A and B are shown apart, each in its own frame.
Chain A
Amino acid sequence: MVDKVKSVSEVVHTIPSGSHIALGGFAIARNLIAVVHELIRQQKRDLTVSQGVVGLDTDLLVGAGLVRHLIMGGGSLDRFGPAHCVNRARETKSLHCEDYTSLSVCFRYLAGALGLSFIPIKSLLASEILERLEAGPGAENVKRSKCPFTGEEYVLLRALTPDVSFVHVQIADREGNCQINGPRWENEEQAKAGRRLVVVAEEIVPTEYIQRSPERTIIPGHRVEAVIHQPFGALPTAVFGCYDYDADHLRLYVEHAKEPERFKEYLKAFVFGCRDHWEYLEKLGGLRRMEELRADPILGY
């Protein structure tokens, strides 16, 4: 067996500025917080970021000024508020935004994961989303065309193959076999579309544990380049079956994200002010807080 366990800082060192990074979070669930904090600490710049429905992870990276191009299908922090940094960056035109829908981003990843160069879809037609894509930075990724068999009108989407896809999972073995508990949004298509694939796991288990329920393995180890072991690695967002979201911290985040100056204070306190994710967890309240957020085994939150 190949041991692929690495630290988040080691992995992030191998990612050049200008890379296209796909993040597996969704709003306030299973966000790649440990990875994003490290990308910010190491100041990886001019990133392209893609995600089906943006979450706090993407909002952090955009707020830190490291994203040049964003490919997304919309998103918010649910009832905690909008993705202020993403929305502000769009308003001030400080990033190129290719704005799609959840399904069209998922289809672009699916094409990438299948090794196809494009995929047809019946969403987007007759919408301003499509018009803006055709007129803006998405122009080379969408095309209207007819089915060669039936003549039906379609939008063709270019496949999306991120340089590195990151996914946060509940358990993985040291080789990278991953099991995801709960719904998976576009995790599988996004992960398998990546040219490189890195997994962040709450818990590392022996392969024998994976072998007990192999039907639950969503991403097989041979596709995975590295496994980062980081308990509470998605906080303040939730990981089903492991811990709930930290509602207090989400509110604090949204308060700071409203204003660029206050957002800098947030970054200073919770990202630059922490050497690593363990120090950040201490700032969030340490073991006592983690225990409060730990999921009930029946409810999953």
Chain B
Amino acid sequence: MQVTEGTKSRNRLPDIRATEIMAAAGARELRDGEVIIVGLGLPEVATVLAKRTHAPRLAALLEVGVMNPAPRDTPVGLADSRIFYRATCWSGFLDVMGMNLHRGVVDAGFLGALELDRYGNVNTTLLKQESGKIRYVNGSAGGNDVASLAKRVIVIMRHEKRKLPLAVAYLTSPGFVGGRSREELNLRGGGPSRVITDMAVLGFDAKTHAVSLLSLHPGIRLEELVENTGFPLHIPNDIPTTPLPSAEELRLLREEIDPKGLHLK
């Protein structure tokens, strides 16, 4: 199970929600014919959007052992029968996570994060409160496996200072730990490639492996982004603006993919 948090709209465009920009940005990261491990929520929405537009031959895999489902009703999680509906294959962890992910054929995996640090390390295990008290949450499930083994990892999360600290409180899923390369870490997967938030699209510097700004969503100021990020960001001289979803993408998102607005609220 991958954690994906709901995201309230933050941009100041009257007609387009931040979640819609995030879904379209997520979809653009996927190429036709790729094999993707999907989580529920925005990753699922982004994958369906890609499949309905530029990438009709995507293979979408869910860790429980479900491939290419076409749900009619919105599921509450990966164990919900609603996400099993009209799949092309039912198997299990050993098939999806073992003979696909561990085998090395998964091109991209989506992850949610409670915390993500400057090297793309992800925490989904616990939170340290100011009093020092530890609160456990969901843990890894397939998160660490995806982070270790997928050719590239896309994280979708809400942009908040406390969620983007200098170092994670617990390193559940490795990115470029300590700024080291994946080879040095003995990991087969390529590591994090994108972090899509409700303020920006972030990438990773090829040399330092640290988070760098790729594009700012329309209506978001650079100072706001810096204020809401807990680690130093590499910022390019020219900052591109994240493209808005096209009219057709918006129509698909609103009328067909998530008409009740459960993930795009």
Interface of A with B (CB < 8 Å)? Answer: 26-29, 52-53, 55, 72-76, 78-80, 82, 86-87, 90-91, 99-104, 106-107, 110, 121-129, 152-153, 182-189, 237-238, 240, 244-245, 295, 299-301
Contacts and interface: CB of A to CB of B under 8 A. Distances in A.
A152 B187 CA distance: 10
Given A128-B125, A188-B92, A301-B85, 10 more contacts: A55-B79, A76-B137, A78-B76, A82-B137, A87-B137, A101-B140, A152-B186, A187-B92, A237-B79, A299-B85
Contact of A183 (B66, B76, B171, B187): B66
A94 B188 CA distance: 36
B72 to A, nearest CB: 7
Given A183-B84, A300-B81, A53 B141 contact: yes
Contact of B148 (A123, A186, A244): A123
B42 to A, nearest CB: 14
Contacts of B143: 74, 101
B79 A27 contact: yes
21 contacts: A27-B78, A27-B79, A74-B125, A74-B140, A74-B143, A76-B77, A79-B76, A91-B134, A103-B102, A106-B97, A122-B148, A122-B149, A152-B186, A184-B65, A185-B64, A188-B94, A244-B81, A299-B82, A300-B84, A300-B85, A301-B82
Contact of A186 (B93, B137, B144, B186): B93
Interface residues of B, number: 54
Contact of B92 (A29, A79, A90, A185): A185
B138 A76 contact: yes
A18 B177 CA distance: 39
B187 A74 contact: no
B186 A153 contact: yes
A86, A126, A183: most-surrounded residue (chain B CB, <10 A): A183
B136, B172, B185: most-surrounded residue (chain A CB, <10 A): B136
B139 A72 contact: yes
Interface in B93-126: 93-94, 97-98, 101-102, 124-125
A79 B149 CA distance: 26
